[in-house]
Structure 1
Amino acid sequence: MVIASLFQRRRGVSSAPLFLSLAFAVTLGGCSTIGRPQELPLDHRMLPAETGRLQEFAAAGEDRLAEGESGLLLLPGNRDALDWRLAMVDNAQESIDAQYFLWDDDYTGRLMLKRLLWAADRGVQVRILVDDIFLTHSDRSIAALTNHPNMDIRIFNPNPARRTRAASAFRFMLEFRRLNRRMHNKLFIADGQVAITGGRNIGDNYFGVARGYNFRDLDVLVVGPVVDDMAQSFDDYWNSPYAFPGRKLHRRGTEEYLERVRERLEDDIARDPRRLVFPAEISAWDHLLYYGARELVPARVRFVADHPVERDDREVVRSLTDLLNGNEGSVREILIITPYFIPDEGVLEIFHQLEQDQVDVRLLVPSLASINHTAVHSHYRPHRETLLEKGVELFEYHHEPGGTGRLYADTAPFQADYISMHLKAVISGHRKSYVGSLNFDPRAMRINTENGLIIDSRLFNEQLRAIVAPLCEEDQAWTVILNPDGRGLIWTSDEGERRSPPARGPVQRLGEFLARLLPIANQL
């Protein structure tokens, strides 16, 4: 079966209106003016560690793998997701590579940075690559951190004009095509032996200790031969011309200022009540490593990532298209979970063809009440009836889910005001699946860079399905159906029936209405 590609390429180059350019640009302010992206001397990863706790952990898992297989461990819980990252940092012996779209300046962001500094203090080579889009006023601290002999930080595709917000906005408009492309990848590798990829960035919302909202999200921990491919992808981005050296962000990022950064990290962490849940002190993590090695699932795995520079090299989109297309009658159900969904004709054609092939498609997206970017919901909204008419089973995640919803999203004793959904996964039949960073929206499909895992394993598929299928049940999601009388839609859940989209209140409804008036769908 050969059908359409996800998100067909549009003719010509779209450009954002002036007000949108300004909206994006105001987040790019900084403290200095820097040069354009440039070629740097190649800096390759270290060889995988041959000794140490992480090498032993990986070896224990690999003992049960057939040749060519990797070992996978699903991380659905927000607390476990941070515990595993901290365990990797605390037990790393030679190298740590971290690649993220967001690294928030909150408790878990500071805690991760502090632990990485401690790892660098004991001789671990630490490399951090982070996208520039939300690095507001961080230039001096980043430059100071690179004074550590074992820590290097690079910024992906930075705005060269950083002295004022107005200058940043003007430069953003001048170089819109380049600066609009962001690195949305998520990747964490320790000692070349253990890696984590998936939907989570670094921040309190992703690890269950935020006050406003926490995400329901998903990562996969990986050992085995595919880790080498993940490390190579990191190197490709690290050595790309868009990876700007952090040491050049600010002239006053001195060694003395590095000590001030350390002191501020210590003070902020010591005053934060979250330290009772995620302590600042290093741990051996014996229990986590011992049982984790025994829970690894064998699988044939392929790591996919877009090219860091060539915007037409959409490896992740191609791989997902193949995953949805290459069924040849063997698949009867496909489950898609995405936090941001704005389809174009390519996606709708895929759904139509799957309906013709009698493949049941189940789609889970956030409800208006649970989404954290209201504007995205505004431009998803017009597609509901079309999706339902094409036979798609449509579910919208609840902002106050029952069942395991809060158990996975909130890290006790913290409980956010509401739960949002940030999980990105596709399950095709009983063997194949995808977990990664890609959303089903124009920005992910055409503009940003993405990564993820294409997995072939019946056992992993079963475990993934057991985690994500309950998100569609009536205690965690609204089922959206066409009104039998032909007038509008109906939302049903264990709370009953309603005829309008569930929202957090009138202010959000107003924002959703206003966002519908803006011609920004191709930038979301």
Structure 2
Amino acid sequence: MLLEWTLGSWLLLLDWLIRLAALLWIPARTTPGAARSWLLLVGFVPLLGLPLYLLFGHPWLSGERLRRQAEASQVIREEQALQSALRWQPDADTTVAEMVPLVERQGDFMPVHGNALDLLTGYDDSLAHLIADIDQAEERVHLLYYLMFDDAVGDAIVEALQRAAARGVQCRLLLDAVGAKRGLRAYRKRLLARDVDVRAMLPGGLRWRRSGRMDLRNHRKIAVIDNKVGYIGSQNLADASFVRGRPNRELVARLRGPAVAHLEAVFASDWYMETGQRLDVMADVPVCSEDVATQLLPSGPAYPFSNARDAVNAMIHLARRRIVLVTPYFVPDEATLSALRIAALSGVDVQLIVSATSNARLTAWAQEAYYDELLRSGVRIALYEPHFLHAKHLSVDEDIALLGSINLDIRSFALNAEIGLLCYDRTIVRQLLDIEEDYLRQSRPLELSQWRKRATWRRSREGIARLADALM
């Protein structure tokens, strides 16, 4: 009996020590919203909450990866200093002039002119362009993707890489270890046997401690061919119908011009981070007559700041007339939610377009928890119905466009390595606005009066999901 009482006393003491340690430790290392959720979990179940926090509570990377990213950033800045003629200068006292220095200081890349950009909205069309460019490659092909499946699309990409390697082209394929697990398992040995260098990014298993927190992922989608043509956008290397019954709708930009060298520098940074091999890729790229001004924005836990979140929030605050946000996953942090609310209440036309169908149930429930507050603030929400809308982009007035791999959720803002391309060209912004208008024509507007009629159990589900999502 005494032994049982003593054991119980020790467990009670440990229980309260964990709570006290969590109260001192978690708020100093976690965002306020996430800290509240973690403290609540640890407060209820300390012996479970503490191990979970140590595994998933803070987006840490290994010191070696942080060092390599810092080295890569330094090289990128030094190389750009030698290319000052390519720097694009925005007009003073404009929203763009306020945006450019933030993006450059956080993401390393200066804005460059002399680019050509094609917006590709057709899933098969963008894939056909990519394969055609790989088939024209003469020197090197660099692909970095979050997801690759062993399906018809994966087969087509693999065959194109094999054809290129057979011509003597240096081919490198960098895939996220978790998102592209199927593709790595199906194609890695086959590609290595054909002289295509294949690497897994952020490996898990017993090696995860050499990478970082085990659920950190590389969510980028990048392709660069011969440092002449680049691709950036939302589309993975998988069949459009991997969400059953709702084929994906994507947006991909095909780039030519100096921005391609910047895109390849991001690939080289990730390659160096994963392999320790340095690639010499920052070569001069001829300017294009279209003269589109762009600026690249990489982000992720390897950077000192939350680059993607800060850029999105800055765009929201800079909007004067209208901002359109397109995302498949909308789970904002408090700063982004506040920015949207303030913009709408200030008279800015804030339009959020999300997919009516989702492939992530918990995220969809958490997303719905924000609708009431947004609608009350005057934010217009449209539910796109024909496809799973996987495209990710923003447009501010007719001045700025942002597209790439960045979702408007906590995971993209804090946990994933992401890539975005800012366009400061009114012709491109208008093209993006036309695409967004096409979404709206095929969407159902969400009305506050109707939304408030949803069942009580749905409201409870949304609240629990929002709390769980905040733990990230």
Normalised TM-score (structure 1):
0.64
Distance in 1 (CA, whole Å) between partners of 2:167 and 2:295 is 33
Q: For 1:68, which of 113, 116, 139 is the aligned residue?
A: 113
Percent of counterpart pairs with the same letter?
24
1:522 equivalent in alignment to 2:470 = yes
1:425 equivalent in alignment to 2:425 = no
1:355 equivalent in alignment to 2:401 = no
Closer, same or farther: CA 126–39 of 1 in aligned 2, 3 Å:
farther
1:447 equivalent in alignment to 2:415 = yes
2:355 maps to what in 1? Answer: 366
Q: For 1:146, which of 184, 192, 199 is the aligned residue?
A: 192
Closer, same or farther: CA 209–236 of 1 in aligned 2, 3 Å:
closer
- Mean Cα deviation higher: 352-361 or 453-462: 352-361
1:255 maps to what in 2? Answer: none
Given that residues 308 and 412 in structure 2 are in contact (C-alpha distance below 8 angstroms), is that contact kept between their aligned partners in structure 1? no
1:326 equivalent in alignment to 2:371 = no
Given that residues 368 and 462 in structure 2 are in contact (C-alpha distance below 8 angstroms), is that contact kept between their aligned partners in structure 1? no
2:166 maps to what in 1? Answer: 121
- Segments of 5+ residues of structure 2 without an aligned counterpart are 1-29, 42-47, 57-63, 77-111, 278-287
Alignment of 1:178-189 (within 5 A): 178-189=213-224
1:489 maps to what in 2? Answer: 451
Q: For 2:295, which of 302, 308, 312 is the aligned residue?
A: 302
Distance in 2 (CA, whole Å) between partners of 1:389 and 1:84 is 43
SS at match of 1:520: helix
Distance in 1 (CA, whole Å) between partners of 2:189 and 2:65 is 16
SS at match of 1:238: helix
2:92 maps to what in 1? Answer: none
The C-alpha deviation readout for 1:456-483, integer Å capped at 9, x for no partner, is 111111111111212112xx11111121
Structure with higher RCO (Cα < 8 A, 6+ apart): 1
State the Cα RMSD in Å: 3.8
Distance in 1 (CA, whole Å) between partners of 2:289 and 2:180 is 36
Distance in 1 (CA, whole Å) between partners of 2:327 and 2:66 is 35
1:286 maps to what in 2? Answer: none
Normalised TM-score (structure 2):
0.70
1:463 maps to what in 2? Answer: 431
Closer, same or farther: CA 348–489 of 1 in aligned 2, 3 Å:
same
The C-alpha deviation readout for 1:368-400, integer Å capped at 9, x for no partner, is xx21212211111121110011110111111xx
Q: Greater helix percent: which structure?
A: 2
The one-letter amino acid paired with 1:522 is: A
SS at match of 2:224: strand
Q: Tell me how far 1:11 sits from its aligned partner.
A: 7.1
2:104 maps to what in 1? Answer: none
Given that residues 369 and 463 in structure 2 are in contact (C-alpha distance below 8 angstroms), is that contact kept between their aligned partners in structure 1? no
Residue-pair matches, total: 375
The C-alpha deviation readout for 1:56-89, integer Å capped at 9, x for no partner, is xxxxxxxxxxx82211000011121111111111
Distance in 1 (CA, whole Å) between partners of 2:239 and 2:327 is 20
Distance in 1 (CA, whole Å) between partners of 2:37 and 2:369 is 21
The one-letter amino acid paired with 1:199 is: S
1:343 maps to what in 2? Answer: 332
SS at match of 1:89: helix
Distance in 2 (CA, whole Å) between partners of 1:120 and 1:459 is 38
2:250 maps to what in 1? Answer: 217
Q: Tell me how far 1:516 sits from its aligned partner.
A: 6.3
The C-alpha deviation readout for 1:132-175, integer Å capped at 9, x for no partner, is 113447458524533433x21111110133xxxxxxxxx87x89
Distance in 2 (CA, whole Å) between partners of 1:338 and 1:187 is 19
Distance in 2 (CA, whole Å) between partners of 1:356 and 1:212 is 38
Distance in 2 (CA, whole Å) between partners of 1:39 and 1:319 is 24
Q: Tell me how far 1:223 sits from its aligned partner.
A: 0.4
Q: Tell me how far 1:183 sits from its aligned partner.
A: 0.4
Given that residues 118 and 254 in structure 2 are in contact (C-alpha distance below 8 angstroms), is that contact kept between their aligned partners in structure 1? yes
Closer, same or farther: CA 39–480 of 1 in aligned 2, 3 Å:
closer
